[in-house]
Amino acid sequence: MSKDTDSAQSIGFQRERTHEEIMVILVALMLAMLLAALDQTVVATALPRIATDLHGLNKLSWVATAYLLTSAISTPLYGKIGDQFGRKKIFQFSIMLFLVGSALCGQSRNMDQLVAFRALQGIGAGGLMTLSMTIVGDIVPPRQRGKYLGYFGSVFALSSVAGPLLGGFFTDSFSWRWVFYINLPLGIIALIAVASRLHLPVKRGDHKIDYVGAALLAAATIPIILATVWGGVIYPWSSPTILSLFVGGILAAILFTLWEQRQPPAEAMLPTHLFKNSIFTVSALLSLLAGVALFASILFIPEYQQIVRGYSAVKSGLLLLPLVFAMLAALIMSGRLITKTGRYRLFPIIGTLVTALGIWLFSNLTLHTSQVTLSLWMIVVGIGIGSFMQVMTLAVQNAVPRSELGVATGSATFFRSIGSSLGGAVFGAILTSRLTIHLKQLLPNFKDSHNLASSVVSGVAPTTLQKLPSSISHDIYKAFVLSFHDMFLLAIPVMLLSFMIALFLKETPLRNTTHDPSDLS
């Protein structure tokens, strides 16, 4: 046996897996990720029934917020801990934690219990999202990884539509508790598949967990997410509460950065030297902006359908399928082309431009835009987002050593989560502000424009609008369409900024092995 082979076995290297072996593992990983992604949206249509049954209308927003907070915070933590202690057992732990949280959510007897158990469920979900993507990096060489990562991107796209539909179906046909119980059989299947088919090296060594860094990261993330969730809905954006949350989050982020600079790279929660790698930095920024673009598209296009067209939440979700299928096709096609050519840089450049074109098309909405036209515009947006959404993960994983695969992947996922939160908040605030202005212009005698704008944007008032005199409701619908126009025009610079950033993405050769070239040197 050669010296190189001995060295490879001593650090846990295995032979490269066949396509059939990879697909068995990937089905389990995608199932786990689907559970986490679905639970971000599946409760939306069940919330009114939950509030009625548990008598907790005043705490309703926390059912979604608790999950969002803990999943976002835990995402980079799982990446780092997986690098330090090995990923398989940590991944299994996150699945079990998610399932326990799901079972407890279904058993909740009051709103406080449900919020607490949703937070527990979110902690498990952070591991599902991060480690599933990282494990792909463990088992698939970078050159082949593109075609597989496309499948994972499709999970996010499908869950954004399937979540509300499934939530409504289970709530109406069975009980809202089945929104959570349905996770159990699916999670158990994923757990069995991972236990029996996924074999990764077990890491041994004396590692320290950066507890201070984890606490500071949480202290930076929680206030910023709360500010984006509460701003313009519970508190005005200029209120002391929202401003204090933003200031507190920024100060904690500065302290987190200073602390991490003092830590050894092997122990730091987010090693700052990663940002010296231009591929990591550019990919992190693009992940952030991809989250903004995805969330803005999937959130506000159905809102137009529901308010202006008067469609139900289920119908507006189904009408989003052209965007989802276009995104799915682009994800798979771009992944296969990356695998075939070994080049990935071109896809974020083209994808951001196509997305900007799609957003510009939506800025031309009118009261009478046909559904066929809307579907064609959705296809353009879907192709654009799908062309680059998963490329950043591939670029990051190819640019860092295997010892930092988890923390780099977790960071990219974390930035995309933050982008989604910021996208919904910023564009929602723009929509409310512009709607208030247009209502005052079209209905100068209307006394409560801002409250009406806020209620329309939050989805409270469509049925009320239909009861108004046609002359008044027509002007309100027109004001909404004009606001939509303004919001999408302001979104175009975000995508053009993404395009400019994508130009700085360097291309490095994609490795044909899961091993680091330096590992056997």
- Nearest residue to 267 (alpha-carbon basis) of 217, 221, 201, 211: 211
* 123 and 97 Cβ atoms separated by less than 8 Å: yes
Distances from the Cα of 241 to the Cα of 226, 308, 419, 448, angstroms: 10, 33, 21, 23
Q: Which H or E element spans position 387?
A: helix 371-388
* 454 and 232 Cβ atoms separated by less than 8 Å: yes
Alpha carbon of residue 49 to chain centroid = 26
Q: Name the 3-class secondary structure at 108.
A: coil
Distances from the Cα of 213 to the Cα of 77, 134, 244, 326, 412, angstroms: 10, 21, 22, 40, 18
Distinct helix (H) and strand (E) counts, the chain: 21, 0
Q: Retrieve residue 470's tokens.
A: 């046609």
Q: How far apart are CA 19 and CA 1, in angstroms?
A: 27
pLDDT of residue 320: 83
* 359 and 319 Cβ atoms separated by less than 8 Å: no
Q: Retrieve residue 285's tokens.
A: 């920024």
Q: Say how many residues make up the chain.
A: 521
Place of tokens 């029996």: 196
Distances from the Cα of 247 to the Cα of 43, 69, 220, 227, 239, angstroms: 31, 18, 10, 10, 12
Q: How far apart are CA 279 and CA 285, in angstroms?
A: 10
- Nearest residue to 482 (alpha-carbon basis) of 508, 443, 447: 443
Classify residue 401 by its DSSP letter.
Answer: -
pTM of the complete model: 0.80
Residue 488 burial (C-beta neighbours within 10 Å; 0-12, 13-18, 19+): buried
* 312 and 364 Cβ atoms separated by less than 8 Å: no
CA angle at 343 for the pair 157 and 378, rounded to the nearest 5°: 30
Q: How far apart are CA 98 and CA 155, in angstroms?
A: 18
In sequence order, the 6+-apart residues with CB closer than 8 A to the CB of 130 are 75, 76, 78, 79, 82, 406, 409, 410, 413
Q: Retrieve residue 98's tokens.
A: 């998610």
Alpha carbon of residue 336 to chain centroid = 23
Q: Name the 3-class secondary structure at 231.
A: strand
Q: Retrieve residue 150's tokens.
A: 């496309």
DSSP E strand boundaries for 183-272: none
pLDDT of residue 521: 37
- Nearest residue to 68 (alpha-carbon basis) of 396, 250, 291: 291
Single-letter amino acid, residue 349? I
Q: Name the 3-class secondary structure at 507.
A: coil
- Nearest residue to 378 (alpha-carbon basis) of 307, 289, 305, 308: 305
Q: Retrieve residue 185's tokens.
A: 């059989």
Q: Name the 3-class secondary structure at 313.
A: helix
Span 73-107, pLDDT tens digits:
888 888 888 888 888 889 999 999 999 999 999 99
Q: How far apart are CA 333 and CA 329, in angstroms?
A: 6
Q: Name the 3-class secondary structure at 235.
A: strand
pLDDT of residue 464: 61
pLDDT, one tens digit for every residue, the chain (521 residues)? 443 333 333 344 455 667 777 888 888 888 888 888 888 777 877 777 887 888 776 677 788 788 888 888 888 888 888 888 888 889 999 999 999 999 999 999 988 899 899 999 999 999 988 888 888 888 888 777 777 777 777 777 777 777 777 887 887 788 889 889 988 998 898 888 888 887 776 665 566 778 888 889 889 888 888 887 787 767 888 889 999 999 999 999 999 989 988 888 777 778 888 888 889 899 888 888 877 776 666 677 877 887 788 777 677 778 888 988 898 889 888 888 888 888 889 999 999 999 999 999 998 988 888 999 999 999 999 999 888 888 888 888 888 887 788 888 888 888 887 887 777 777 877 887 788 788 888 877 666 555 665 555 555 455 566 666 777 777 888 888 898 888 888 888 888 998 999 999 988 877 666 555 444 33
pLDDT of residue 455: 59
Residue 238 burial (C-beta neighbours within 10 Å; 0-12, 13-18, 19+): exposed
